[in-house]
Amino acid sequence: MKRPALISIFAFVAIFILHHDFWNWKNTALVFGFMPVGLAYHVGYSIVVSLFWILVTRYAWPHSIEKWADKPHD
């Protein structure tokens, strides 16, 4: 397995674990005076995950599969 793919798998597992933010469940604090801390966490989490998937598709995408699919098959 190539290094970018392996790094992507480990990052995916870390992101998966961070998605379950149990440490914010009982936190009643507000961010910017109006947003619950759990919602603010997930706003930041969504941005991080979006950037993660952009990097995965750029560096760990299996280009050999695309080349195989583009070839004419008999």
Tokens of 47: 């941005």
Q: What is the pLDDT of residue 63?
A: 73
Tell me the mean pLDDT per 10 residues along the chain, length 74: 85 93 90 94 96 90 74 73
Residue at 22: amino acid letter: F
For 25-42, b where at least 16 C-beta lie within 10 A, e where not — what string?
eeeeeeeeeeeeebebbe
Q: What is the pLDDT of residue 74?
A: 63
For the chain, which residues make up each domain, given as ranges? 16-57
Query: How many CB atoms are located within 10 Å of the residue 8 CB?
Result: 19
Tokens of 14: 């870390």
Q: What is the pTM of this model?
A: 0.74
Tokens of 40: 């603010």
φ, ψ of residue 73 in degrees (nearest 5): -110, 140
